[in-house]
Amino acid sequence: MGGPSQRLQLSDELFIQLRDLIYERSGIFFNTSKKYLLESRVENRLKALGLEKFEDYYYLLKYSPDSGKEFRALFDEITINETSFYRNPPQMEVFQGYLLPEVLKAKKIKNLKLWSAGCSTGEEPYTLAILILEVLGPRISQWFVDILGVDISRAALEKAMKGEYGEYTLRNMPPELIQKYFVREGPIYKIKDEVKKLVRFEMTNLSDRAQTSRIRGMDFVFCRNVLIYFDIEARKRVVASFYESLNPGGYLFIGHSESLHGISRAFKLIHFPKVIVYKKEG
């Protein structure tokens, strides 16, 4: 079999077959405008596996008994997500300055639970842990704090669990918080154990209700810039699972350019300057 003489091209027919297969397994949807993106991500996997044709890759995913392992590798490729500590500072300020103190004050039992849905390499859940430490101070010892970070990418979660980061991802973080909660070793910033112990990570497919139905009793859900990966039906499923997971009076944060319009009417919109938050009333 001769090697290709030009760059591989994914036919429209095979694009649809691959797209549908990925959607079945993950809920992640590539519309036709994202064909080039799927093509480049799949081509990376072809090179890694030494395959020459997109057809060969499709058959591997569809029929190989080892396809689960390859799906995980593919999800690592297609869910590459730009993230950073203290992303979208106005949202972080609303969380730290208004909503977290409100939720803490209303608690009869000193138990606080947060869900970072689509946590990528861990910057978001660790940021939340740091802000909780800042608000509670020495009172943290009296509280049970559980921050659950989930993602479909195993590679991202492995990096999150290490808790080691470069300077660029800390660019939005207030310098005094970097000094307080990180240990610098050359170009690497390591999260301190007092932060790490508040966070745990799990591999979870957000569009699979069987996986998300066990996540309950949350006070906050953060799912920022993740819903863009899903089609409208998957978005409805995902957001419904967030609503079910939240305690009455709990809050959902989504990306600042995202909206639940046409997805869910269950939440009450709470407006702050530059920030909209979604509240589960009750």
pLDDT of residue 80: 66
Q: Are 88 and 79 in contact (CB under 8 A)?
A: no
- Class of residue 268 by CB neighbours under 10 A (exposed 0-12, middle 13-18, buried 19+): exposed
Q: Are 97 and 274 in contact (CB under 8 A)?
A: no
Which phi and psi (to 5°) does residue 206 adopt? -60, -25
Full 3-state SS string of the chain: CCCCCCCCCCCHHHHHHHHHHHHHHHCECCCHHHHHHHHHHHHHHHHHHCCCCHHHHHHHHHHCCCHHHHHHHHHHHHCCCCCCCCCCHHHHHHHHHHHHHHHHHHCCCCEEEEEEECCCCCHHHHHHHHHHHHHHHHHHHHCEEEEEEEECCHHHHHHHHHCEECCHHHCCCCHHHHHHHEEEECCEEEECHHHHCCEEEEECCCCCHHHHCCCCCEEEEEECCCHHHECHHHHHHHHHHHHHHEEEEEEEEECCCCCCCCCCCCCEEEEECCEEEEECCC
- By residue count, the chain amounts to 282
Q: Are 142 and 110 in contact (CB under 8 A)?
A: yes
pLDDT of residue 193: 97
**pTM for the complete prediction?**
0.82
Residues β-bridged to residue 222:
116, 253
pLDDT mean across residues, the chain: 90
Tell me the C-alpha distance between 86 and 45, whole Å: 32
Q: Is the pLDDT at 2 greater than 80, yes or no?
A: no
Q: Are 213 and 243 in contact (CB under 8 A)?
A: no
The tally of CA atoms less than 13 A away on the side-chain side of residue 143 is: 23
Q: Is the pLDDT at 38 greater than 50, yes or no?
A: yes
Tell me the C-alpha distance between 129 and 147, whole Å: 7
Domains and CATH numbers, the chain: 12-78 (1.10.155.10), 89-279 (3.40.50.150)
Q: pLDDT-based confidence at 9, cuts 50/70/90?
A: confident
Q: Tell me the two tokens of residue 42.
A: 């799949």
Which phi and psi (to 5°) does residue 234 adopt? -65, -40
110: CB partners within 8 A, 6+ apart: 142, 143, 144
Q: Is the pLDDT at 66 greater than 50, yes or no?
A: yes
Tell me the C-alpha distance between 236 and 255, whole Å: 16
What is the percent of the chain with per-residue pLDDT over 70, rounded to a whole number? 96
Tell me the C-alpha distance between 54 and 15, whole Å: 9
Mean pLDDT, residues 147-172 = 92
pLDDT of residue 62: 87
pLDDT of residue 81: 67
